[in-house]
Structure 1
Amino acid sequence: MTTAPIRLADYQVPAFLIEDVHLTFRLAPNATRVVSRIRFRRNPEGKGDLRLDGEKLGLIAASIDGQQLLETDYHLTQHHMTIKGDRLPDAFTFGAEVEVDPENNTSLSGLYMSKGMYCTQCEA
């Protein structure tokens, strides 16, 4: 399943800005764990919710400033995680642990394996 393209015409000023990102990968062909810590601050020029994009991620845990989120604290789809902006402080650290399957990722996007080697696609 492919997602709809994101078009420049649909751009909206983000509600939150990223100040710092820390990622830890525990590599395994079928069950790589990724632990993220992302420091956000509210964008004075933006409004709305915190929306995090991601596909084929198995969410294990999510937190705000170390406090574990309950399933009622966020909305999760196959492509996004959304946390209501009015429930978030002006500055916070979002933490998450997810599981991905690089060996069966045939999209050549994100973390995947090719001939036994871990690869990533970089959009920089």
Structure 2
Amino acid sequence: MSVTISSSMLQQLLRHAGASPDAEVCGLLFGTRDRIDAVEACENVAADPARTFEIAPKALIAAHRRSRAGGPAVVGHYHSHPSGLAVPSARDAAQAMGDAAVWVIIGGGSSRAWRSDEPGCFVEVDIVMN
């Protein structure tokens, strides 16, 4: 399994994460199951943004409305682990819905992609850059 993303978009995610060394950043991924065509940074409204993330509901609702109106499909999201690795945390697993969403996690200066095919579980997905 793999997901394709442009090197410039991946660099954009790494820069976003690097700009916030003390709090998790987050955003949405748009495209198809196998390809990320666009990314959108979102506000992290979590009560403890140093340890978790929550995409601002307004941003999430607006993205799904645009998708229903013919815009790009929301296929997942990204977030950072400022003091950790690019692997799902226990908190991430608790939030994983098993909806085949792509999770790009940035940590330790790198990024890795995961797919949640079952609630609470992740399978790593190769990132293919174009």
TM-score, normalisation: structure 1: 0.31
Higher strand share: 1
